[in-house]
Chains A and B, each alone.
Chain A
Amino acid sequence: MFSYYFTLALRSLKRNVVLTLLMIAAIGVGIGASMTTLTVFRAMAGDPIPEKSTQLFAVQIDNWGPSKKTVVLGDEEHLQPQISYPDAIGFINAHAAPRQSAMYATGFALTPSNPQLLPFQVHARAAYTDFFRMFEVPFRFGGPWGAADDANRADVVVITRELNDKVFDGANSVGKMLNLDNHDYRVVGVMDQWQPIPKFYDLNNDKYGKSEQVFLPFTRAIAGEMSTWGNNNCAGDVGAPGWEGRLHSECIWIQFWAELPTAADVDRYRQFLNNYASDQQRSGRFNWRAHTRIRDARQWLAYRHAVADEVRILVLVSFSFLFVCLLNAMGLMLAKILGRAGDIGVRRALGANRRAIFSQCLIEAGVIGFAGGLLGLALTALGLVGLRVLLSEEVSRLTHFGLMDISIAILLAVFATILAGLYPTWRAAHVQPAWQLKAQ
């Protein structure tokens, strides 16, 4: 039956080529526009660590109090997105989470062992050993440094595969030395391809950008007075001069993540944070009530507005556009089907029931939708090229069109067209055969 209806649909579509092409074009353009933006949106709003996003928590504590309100931009809860060094150390020493890491962005001038090559700049992240297992970082060679290295402020680094390719020609470099700012660090691990998008653990700079190329123990970075290359906010109170002064200040520049696998862990951790803040209040550091918060990775991305406003506007606009295109296709389908009322009347008179007419017309709509979806795919590819040309490199990195997107496009096209075809089809099914025959 299906193949018969399918042939009928094709024949009917061929009868009025202009109208058919108009419908396909309308749906194709709508799908093209909405899929272009949806692809970028999906990349931006994607879950960078799906298997664990509900177990990883960003930690916030109010160490500024209500009086510094005006300085923080756009935070209705009056919580800072980063934490201070005293709190980072307080949390680390409490060992309240099964896995945890304080971290911050820094960087180096790397001098390659080949004297022919000029030194170059690398971005680095100071973290604790738990960073790697917590965030499921894959390793190509070696592995994370040990807890002892954290304690001993050891001169060890984990590097990315990309940097290993560049500096060590892709060979197993574990045990080799890397010269960073005139100091030798021993490579303990080479990561495999790892690129969470967005870079959820630190959304302050370059949130869709590449992950850092070098990782080293947080304790080592602090001991080496390595300045932050990320965001630093002191809310007008920079503390005492120099590195020591900065460490003891209430400036916020450190990100803190904890892995809490069970609901009980989460409850315990909340309790711990609250107690910690209350302790600070008792000791006189905070003269306000404990105000802390943990958010899992997904909540964190929503809270920090990981999806750019531009992309949200474009998604909104392009889906409204798709809506207009569908209304358009619906109108044309209506015209087309009612124009064929005579045919339908004859078929009904010859014994076709309403259900048969209904499914035949819906199949016709589905064929149009499928063709529109194919056209839409081509236009999406074109649209993504356009976005790459027009938008920043950071956003351009999000314009990869995968199998998933292709299936979404086709399904969306077929489903939306059938939806738009429901009313015209319903009208077709209610054509009165007697009237039509009389009118002939």
Chain B
Amino acid sequence: MELRPILSAMRRNKVGAILIAVQMAVTLAILCNGLFIIEQRVASSKRLTGVDEANLFVLTNLWVGNPTDLAARLQADLAALRSVPGVVDAFATNSYPLSDGGSTDGVSLHPDQRDAMALSALYFTDEHGLQTLGLKLIAGRNFNPGEIVDKVGYTDVTPPPAVIITHALADKLFPGGNALGQSMYVEGEKHQTTIIGIVDRLQVPWVQAGGWGSKFNYNSMLEPFRYLDQYTIYLVRAKPGQLPAVMQATQKKLIEINRARVIEKVQPLTEARREAYRNDRGLAVILGVVCAALLLVTAFGIVGLTSYWVAQRRRQIGIRRALGATRNAIIRYFQTENLLIAAGGAALGVAMAIALNLWMVSSFEMERLHSIYAFAGAAVVLLLGQAAVLWPALRAASIPPALATRGV
């Protein structure tokens, strides 16, 4: 295929070619960044919490007034919850995965370490926590009932006598892998505590992309606290398939024991997951729709302009056909023309995609674009151009050679 006639024709039609090239470039820049964001958000929303989400639900409890017998009430509630048919186990806590609220503390290996070595989410629990959450203990042991101490509200600074930490936190503190049985310092308490167990995985409560938890996603620890506060969170694990029934029954049971309370939220963890990742999923869907619309608009633009070019060159095409050019040669002409424009657009687009990504990295919590996305985007845009030009090219090829003899 001779490029020279195509180039000289394009030179006479600069603006149209530039319009298409720029459109393709912007499409490419948005497409690969859009797909990259979609991929990241989807991956983020699929991260595991490490707990048995399918069978867990949360029930929040706010006592009316500030009762002085919180410990007795908590004990009564927990006993009642555990006695409901269909309940595997239950415990009271300050926070739970996917809740987007909770406490963080710095953890270090020395009391005088100025900066914490790692941040960790804190989950308060009694000896029923592991079984309720369905956590996998990979080393050490569970708390025993004697280790559980009272923590009266968030201003109580009683130190935890022992902790169970996640594998991720253990690796961070003791890269040698010998965390079990070691002591560490919980910064808020400025107290030494012992690692008695390590669980496989337990996500922090904050999962928002670029949010508070994004820097220490699986650094969590369980502290043996009986949390005595006006506001308590109960986590209940039901036997498989019995969650809806158990959710109703437990709520009724608690109201029966004591009416002077507010149960604000009774929510399965699967629903908490949906809520926690709703904006991520929403963003992914919207970006997907915009990317599709963008491709469509660009494709129609190419169809429109190329059709116009075909119409403009009807006579020339007829003459070429009369002089012996085959239909395929005509189709190839338009395809090559589009390929040249698209290549220019793609080159510009890759540069724009990288620039856009760099800007987003600097102004949002975002990672660098993998080059695979730029290449894939370029390929998509080139194919799109070829597909869009096909119909006008076919129309051009169907121009009869006899046209050359008519007119003037």
Contact = CB atoms under 8 A, between A and B. Distances in A.
Contacts, number: 175
Given A240-B157, A241-B156, A392-B282, 14 more contacts: A109-B65, A109-B262, A182-B64, A227-B154, A236-B187, A238-B189, A241-B155, A314-B287, A321-B293, A323-B26, A324-B294, A324-B297, A327-B301, A387-B286
A262 B352 CA distance: 46
A392 B363 CA distance: 23
A334 interface: yes
B20 interface: yes
Interface of B: 15-16, 19-20, 22-23, 26-27, 29-30, 33-34, 37, 62-66, 105-106, 114-116, 153-158, 187-189, 209-210, 212, 215, 229-230, 259-262, 264, 275, 278-279, 281-283, 285-287, 289-290, 293-294, 297-298, 300-301, 304-305, 307-308, 311-312, 360, 363-365
B96 to A, nearest CB: 17
29 contacts: A25-B300, A26-B297, A29-B297, A30-B297, A33-B290, A73-B212, A109-B230, A109-B261, A111-B64, A119-B260, A181-B64, A181-B66, A227-B230, A234-B188, A236-B105, A237-B188, A241-B156, A246-B155, A321-B293, A324-B298, A327-B22, A327-B26, A330-B19, A331-B19, A331-B20, A334-B15, A335-B307, A339-B311, A390-B281
A242 interface: yes
A328 B301 contact: yes
Interface stretch (A63-71, A127-135, A155-163, A402-410): A63-71
Q: Which 10 interchain pairs have the tightest Cβ spacing?
A: A390-B282, A335-B308, A182-B65, A236-B187, A328-B301, A109-B64, A331-B19, A391-B282, A246-B155, A70-B115
Which of B22, B155, B212, B275 gathers most chain A CB within 10 Å?
A: B155
A111 B37 CA distance: 47
A105 B90 CA distance: 30
Contacts of B304: 19, 22, 328, 331-332, 335
A118 interface: yes
Nearest to B115: A70
B62 A67 contact: no
A310 to B, nearest CB: 5
Main secondary structure of the interface of B (DSSP, over half): helix
Residue with the greatest number of chain B CB neighbours at <10 A, chosen from A240, A243, A390: A390
Summarize A's interface: helix, strand, loop or mixed. helix
Contacts of A73: 212, 215
A8 to B, nearest CB: 21
A423 interface: yes
A324 B295 CA distance: 10
A14 interface: no
A273 B200 CA distance: 50
Contact of B286 (A241, A314, A335, A336): A314
Interface residues of A, number: 66
A15 to B, nearest CB: 14
A309 B365 contact: yes
A380 B52 CA distance: 41
A121 interface: yes
A317 interface: yes
A288 B235 CA distance: 45
A312 B210 CA distance: 14
A328 B23 CA distance: 7
Interface string A293-309: 00000000000000011
Contacts of A25: 300
Nearest to A228: B154
Given A71-B116, A236-B116, A318-B290, A109 B63 contact: yes
Nearest to B209: A309
Given A118-B262, A330-B19, A339-B311, A317 B364 contact: no
B293 A334 contact: no
A90 interface: no
Nearest to B265: A121
Contacts of A312: 363-364
Contacts of A395: 279
Contacts of B275: 392
A67 B156 CA distance: 25
Contact of B301 (A234, A238, A332, A423): A332
Interface string A235-266: 01111111101100000000000000000000
Interface in A169-199: 181-183
Contacts of B29: 320
A398 B156 CA distance: 39
Contacts of A335: 16, 304-305, 307-308
Contacts of B282: 310, 387, 390-392
A177 B292 CA distance: 58
Contacts of B153: 227
Contacts of A313: 37, 283, 360, 364
Interface string A91-133: 0000000000000000101010000001111000000000000
A109 B115 CA distance: 39
Nearest to B17: A331
B157 A241 contact: yes
Contacts of A339: 308, 311-312
A69 B115 contact: yes
Contacts of A234: 188
B305 A119 contact: no
B29 to A, nearest CB: 7
A325 interface: yes
Interface string A333-346: 01110110000000
Given A313-B364, A324-B294, A243 B155 contact: yes
A29 B305 contact: no
B64 A119 contact: yes
Contacts of B298: 324, 328
Contacts of A308: 279
Contacts of B210: 309
A321 B85 CA distance: 56
A302 to B, nearest CB: 12
A242 B281 CA distance: 42
A271 interface: no
B154 A232 contact: yes
A423 to B, nearest CB: 7
Given A236-B106, A238-B188, A324-B27, A22 B20 contact: no
B19 A327 contact: yes
Contacts of B30: 317, 320-321, 324
A317 B287 contact: yes
A386 interface: yes
Which interface residue of A243, A310, A314 has the most chain B CB atoms within 10 A? A310
Nearest to A249: B155
